[in-house]
Amino acid sequence: MVRLLPAFLLLVVCWSCVHLLVAASKKKDNEVKELQIGVKFKPKTCEIQAHKGDTIKVHYRGTLVDGTEFDSSYSRGDPIEFKLGAGHVIKGWDQGLLGMCVGEKRKLKIPSKLGYGAQGSPPKIPGGATLIFDTELVSVNGKGGITEESADSEEL
């Protein structure tokens, strides 16, 4: 029986390691390593496109991976306006909105390194959080505008 004790302990240690690895891999399933851009809607014609240096207006809804909403311009009825590529917003936005057409809708999955990083943005965004943004490009350099459909739309 004394001889079986080391083998039993080794088995327990191995089982514990496997359990920890499985738990760690499940936690990382929700983490995004690189920016992911999904086009949800694109107008038939793209007459106005967003480029670095353009002043753009964007409607958005921001959530955590678990679906918790932390911000929404739709709720305020006021899209955000900023200069694209100038560092006025998180890097995931500066990269994820490039080439977008007025009226286009995109879903951005932004890793923490392109969002708020390890520090997060307390109290609503924890450190290391992957961010999900449903976005709609409203205008570029004052051209374009909110259509009736987008003004009334809450769901992207």
Query: Does the annotation count 133 as an active-site position?
Result: yes
Query: Does the annotation count 90 as an active-site position?
Result: yes
Catalytic residue among 48, 54, 74, 90: 90
Catalytic residue among 56, 116, 132, 134: 116
Backbone angles phi, psi at 133, to 5 degrees: -125, 125
Query: Does the annotation count 70 as an active-site position?
Result: yes
Please name every residue paired with 80 in a beta bridge, in sequence order, or none if there are none. Answer: 58
Catalytic residue among 54, 110, 125, 133: 133
Catalytic residue among 60, 94, 125, 132: 60
> Who contacts 118 (Cβ-Cβ below 8 Å, separation ≥6)?
112, 127, 128
Nearest CA-CA partner of 137 in 102, 106, 92:
102
Distance separating alpha carbons of residues 10 and 67, to the nearest angstrom: 41
Distance separating alpha carbons of residues 94 and 91, to the nearest angstrom: 5
Query: 123 preceded by cis ω (within 30°)?
Result: yes
Catalytic residue among 37, 70, 80, 82: 70
Catalytic residue among 71, 80, 82, 146: 71
Q: Which residues are catalytic?
A: 60, 70-71, 90, 116, 133
